[in-house]
Structures are given as structure tokens and as C-alpha cells.
Structure 1
Amino acid sequence: MGVRCKSSMATLYIFSGLPGAGKSTLATLLSKRLGASYLRVDTIEQSLKDICDIAIYSEGYQIAYRLASDNLIQGLNVVGDSCNSVYESRVEWEQTAINSGAKFINIEISCSNKIEHKIRVESRVSPVTGLVLPTWESVEAREYQPWDSEIISIDTAGETPERSIQKLIEMLNV
């Protein structure tokens, strides 16, 4: 019986934040910068809806955790892009990294300027075919629990994506 060797060098970058804060923009930019695998829960969930014609609860997240684990075990860095708004999903992302022998870094993206955030939510176009984007009212009503563990926070209000990713890279030291 062989022993599976897990890489301790791989990192799972766990993004969180409300829709329209700039999370997917920064997650994409970071994955390109690092050459990391990029897993967007919205894409997985929309694919399940389109292909299987099923209502989605946590299945998209569950698939993302498994795909992240496959990549982390291979020693590949992974960027996980999801709202990740509740304690349970945050623990699952972290446990995915731990079980895969990888490190994890929690990254919270916010937009503290409500007017700017509302404009972003109301004017954006989804790159995910078929994905119905949330309304501003649904973003405001969404449950978003405060973090109780160490995170890197980026406030994108009044910042360009280029400046925000530069701040994130500096904070990550990558």
C-alpha cells in the first residue's frame, strides 16, 4: 500500500464578499498573476441548473470544494471565488485546504461606498451565460456574517481594479 504525499506548498485563496464588491474581478486577476486554478461557484451552479435542470442549494460549493482539493493535492494553487457569506461555507473551504495538505488565506472584498456599490450591482453584466445577477435589494438583504478569524480585507470603494489587485498582492507578498 502506497503513501500519498501531499504538498504543503499549495495555497487556497478563499475569496468572500457581497455581489458587486469586486470579488470576481480581483479573484480572476489574482489567479492570472499566480497561474492558479480559478473556481467560480457561480459558474458551477449555473452549469448545474443548465445541464441538470435542478434547484441549487449548496451543491455548487460542494463541487467547488472537491475540485479545489483535486488541484491542491497536485500542488497547484487555487483561487476560490464565492460570496462565502456564512460561517459554514468558510469552514468548508478551510477544511478543504487542510485535508488536502495545503495552506489557506481568507480574503474579504468589500465596497464601503453604498452608492458606488449600488451602481456596480445595477450596471454589471455577467460573464457566466444564463446567470441572473442579483438586484441591489437582494444584495442588501443577503445574510453576510462577520468573520471571526484572520482575513485580508480589501475595500474597493473609489479604487480601480488595478490598484485594488496591487494592494492585495502587496498584502499577500506574492
Structure 2
Amino acid sequence: MTATLFSIGGLPATGKTTVARALARRLRAAYLRVDTIEAAIVEHSELAHPVGVVGYAVGYRLAADQLQLGLDVVAESVNPLGITRDAWLAVATEAGAGAMEIEIICSDRAEHRRRVEHRTLDIDGLVPPTWEEIENRDYRPWDRDPLVLDTAVLTPTAAVQRVLQTLSRRRAG
């Protein structure tokens, strides 16, 4: 069976990390988080956060390595622009792998804001964006139809189940 790249994007504090980790655990897939990559780059270099395209570029290369080994990859990042989304798809295509684009949203604005203001970070040195910064972020609408998972109404387990059901239908179809 061909490896699959699961490209997971969405605004900060929508639940991307929670869903992505649960999916990677369930699939026993490689897990790549651009925030982790960027934090390591900042910690071990002269660069300051945000590091621009560097974190994504490292993520693309790491994903390609894993896909070429036949491993599924769950790649999680804000993935705000068409250019970053296209790049993840190019990684899968060049590796001869399948791809599934997933956008994580939180449709309940009050809940999303609560998550932003009360979240606990698990990466040392990462400075979380404020609610204002998230609202003003350049996050462009998708020009394709990703699988949209709304964490305001789906538990992480239900979100993973939805991904697996969609994957099963695609592989059967």
C-alpha cells in the first residue's frame, strides 16, 4: 500500500496538534510539527521567531524522507497559504505517495478565543499568538476542498475516525 501524507492546517488553537498527534498514534505514522522544527531552529541558530519558510522547508524534506521509506506522515502546521499547501502536495507527488489535505477549524468563536487565551504550550520558547494576532493573520481560503474537521463539534477521537473513514473511501474508490 502506498504511503500517505496527511497535511493538516488551520489557525492556531483550533486543535491541530491534538488531532494530528491522535491520528499519527492511530496510524503509527511519522509526525512532523512545523512549530517543533521552528523552535529547534531558533534555539540552535541566530534566527529569531518567526523563521519564515525555513521551518516549512525542513518539514518538506523530512516528510519526503519518511514517505520514500513507505511511511505515512502526519504533517501539522498552520499552512496558511496556497503556496505552502501546494508544496506539501508536491512532496507527496514527488515521493510517489498519496495525499490528504485536512483543515482543522473551531467554528465556535468564543471557544476558539478561550483556547487561545488559556492554552498550555508544550514547546519551550514558543511564544503563542494572541487572539488579535490570530484574527489578523494572513490565512487564505483553500482553493481545493480539504477534509474540514470542526473541533467545536468533533472530539479528537471522532475527528480521527472521520479521517480514517475518508481515507478508506478514497482507497476503495
> TM-score, structure 2 length as denominator?
0.92
**Pairs aligned (count):** 167
1:17 corresponding residue in structure 2: 10
Aligned partner letter, 2:120 = V
Partner SS, residue 131 of structure 1:
coil
Q: Find 1:134's aligned residue among 129, 139, 146.
A: 129
CA distance in 1, matches of 2:2, 2:142: 25
**Is structure 2 residue 56 aligned with structure 1 residue 61?**
yes
Deviations 1:55-98 (A, max 9, x none): 31110000000000000001010000000010110011000111
Give me the identity figure in percent. Answer: 44
2:86 corresponding residue in structure 1: 91
**Is structure 2 residue 26 aligned with structure 1 residue 40?**
no
- What are the ranges of 5 or more consecutive residues in structure 2 without an aligned counterpart? none
1:30 corresponding residue in structure 2: 23
Q: Find 1:50's aligned residue among 40, 43, 47.
A: 43
- What are the ranges of 5 or more consecutive residues in structure 1 without an aligned counterpart? 1-7
> TM-score, structure 1 length as denominator?
0.91
Partner SS, residue 44 of structure 2:
helix
CA distance in 1, matches of 2:2, 2:119: 36
- Give 1:53 deviation, angstroms: 2.7
Moved more, 109-118 or 47-56: 47-56
Q: Find 1:112's aligned residue among 107, 115, 123.
A: 107
